[in-house]
Structures are given as structure tokens and as C-alpha cells.
Amino acid sequence: MTKTIYWKTSLRLWHDFEKTNDQQEKYEVREFYFEYRLNENLNFLIGKKINLWARSDEMSPLDFITPENYSYFLLWDRSQRVTGTYNIEASYYWENNNQVQLILFPYKQTSTFAPPSSNWHPTQYPLSWHDHTDYRQVELAAKYSKNLSQTDLDLIYFRGYHPFAQPALESSGFLATDEIHNTYALALAQAFENHNIRFELSYQDKGAWVNQKTLQKQVDKKIEINLGIDYLFPNDLYVNIQYVHHDFLQEDGPTDSYWLVQAQNSFFNDSLKASIKVGYSDKGNNGTLVNPQLEYQWAGQYQLRLGGFVFAGNNPYGLFSQYQNNDLAYLEFHYLF
């Protein structure tokens, strides 16, 4: 029997010219943890780690445990938005590709949104929520995973709380109440020769939403469905489609859904990649997102990206249409080492 200790660290420094996060420069420790492998069946981990349980590409209900930086909405890739959580983790593996994972979260961790002074502040949140963080918290997460040939199955449970800071309408104070919530989720992924299908279903007994008339958070049962498909054509054209549906079961609770479609192709021995991402939201949340991009890589270390974002729609509270005045073009240079 061999006992082994591993460790990993990941750092990031970024500069915000528009001070979107009230900090022009930010140093971030994305991951720093130690993993102790007692034997081939049992692992323990402590530290800050990125846990990505979702099978889908964006905004999955299975990523409650993974804080994200939405300061620029979806302008950053998901791999850039996520950061680690402080946790204590145990994993147990046994024969026939079975795994159980249990994670405890002793420290408060939230996703971050742009402050009210920014053009990227989500209109769903009242301006008086000055700390612009997501109040959804998770204190315990458990997952059972099973691999069946070309099929992956996940059964997931989250337990957490919403430390709601409901703004008092007649003052700048907050009415704080803690609401325990339980989330039960199922995820399936099926691989085929040239395409993959993903399905996620979650039920939350106490979800949160903002009543736009009162600017107050309300609590209700919530169902979320994610469906995704990847397809690789013979000419190397890659297409990814994701459908997301949210439904609060209360009579006047919001129901919305959106589509994300991405197509990408490579040229000149994969040196040049052309892609386009199109998003559409409906169910009274009408809006559109279009993101074309060209990426050129050379010498194995250098990348140049040219692209843009276009938002459209008339709903000031829509997922995409709320940013209709934020169209932009970007040029990025990456050095890989």
C-alpha cells in the first residue's frame, strides 16, 4: 500500500482598466490544495480547489459549489470565470467505476457581479445591493458517479442557505433572513462516435428570485433543465448546442429559457480557428447575443484573438438584452508557457 501526497497551486493577476470590481488590480489565488491518497480507493483533500461538476457549458445548476466572476457577464470564457472554493473533501472509489465524493465548505464563498456603477451590473439586482455578490451558499455537497461504457451518470445533492439581504425600501438597511435550501440533481452524458449528448435536471426546494415590482428577493421551489449536444462533422466543423430552462413553481414566479449555439472550424493545420457563438433567450426574457471570433496560434506559444460581442433586445431585465448598449470589439494576445 502506497500513501502519496500531491499539491497544486494556480495564481492569476489581472488589470481592470474600468475598475469594474472597484479594484484596478487584483491578485487571485485560484487553487491551492493538498491531496492525500491513502490507497487506490480513498483520497482526502484540503485547500482551495475548482470543482466543476456540470456537464453543460454555461450556467449549470450543478455548479453551485463553484464561484464565478460575472463582472463582464460572459465575455470571459468559463474557464477564466471560475475560481476555487475552500473545502475539505473525501473521495472513495470501488470496482465497476463507482465513485462517491463528499465536500464540506467551512468558509463563505460567492460569485461576483459588477457593481451598480458598471455597465455590466445585472439589472435583475437592485442598485442598493452594494456588495454585488451572489447570496447563494453551499455548506455540503455529495455526488455519486457511475461510468457505464459510453454513459456517465451523476446523482448530486447540495445543502446550503440563502443569507438573504433584502433591501428595506424605506432605508439603506437590510432585512437579513437565512433560508436553508436543498438541491437534488441528476446528470447524464452519452458518448457516440462523432457526437455527445448531455442532460442535467435539478430541483431546489427553496430557490431565490427578484420581484421586479418590489425589488425584493422571494423564495420558491425551482426546477432547472439543461440539455446539450456536441457534434463533429467530417470536415472538422464542430457544433455545440445548449438549451437551459428555469421554472419557479410559484404562480407569479418567473419562467425563462435560452439557447446557446456555437460553431467552430480550424484551418491551416489548426493554426487558424474561426468560431461564432449565438445566444437567444425567450419566455418574456427576449434577447440575443452574437459573438464571432478569429484565433491564430503560432510557434506553439503565441495566440492572437480578434472578436466582438453584439447584444440585442428590448427587455431591460433580459439575460442578453439588458446589455444592449454594451456592444464591443476586442483584441487579445496570449503567451502560453
Q: Where are the domains of the chain?
A: 4-253, 254-337
The more confidently predicted of residues 240 and 254 is 240
Q: Which three cell numbers stand for residue 162?
A: 440563502
Q: What is the pLDDT of residue 172?
A: 37
Count of helix runs (H) and strand runs (E) in the chain: 1, 18
Give this prediction's pTM. Answer: 0.80
d(CA 315, CA 306): 29
Across the chain, mean pLDDT equals 79
Structurally, at CATH architecture level, domain 4-253 sits in Beta Barrel (2.40)
CB-based contact 310:289 (threshold 8 Å): yes
Q: What is the pLDDT of residue 160?
A: 79
CB-based contact 132:113 (threshold 8 Å): yes
Q: Which three cell numbers stand for residue 287?
A: 434577447
The pLDDT confidence band at residue 181, using thresholds 50, 70 and 90, is: confident
Mind listing the pLDDT tens digit for each residue in 78-135? 777 888 889 999 999 998 889 999 999 887 777 777 777 778 877 655 433 334 445 4
Whether the per-residue pLDDT at 308 is higher than 70: the answer is: yes
The pLDDT confidence band at residue 333, using thresholds 50, 70 and 90, is: very high
Mind listing the pLDDT tens digit for each residue in 241-278? 999 887 777 656 567 788 999 999 999 988 999 999 99
Q: How many CA atoms lie within 13 A of 5 on its CB side?
A: 3
Question: How does DSSP classify residue 133?
Answer: B
Q: What is the pLDDT of residue 318?
A: 81
Among residues 152, 267, 141, the alpha carbon closest in space to that of 200 is found at: 152
Q: What is the pLDDT of residue 215?
A: 59
The pLDDT confidence band at residue 143, using thresholds 50, 70 and 90, is: very high
CB-based contact 112:92 (threshold 8 Å): no
Q: Which three cell numbers stand for residue 128?
A: 442598493
Mean pLDDT to the nearest integer, 221-225: 83
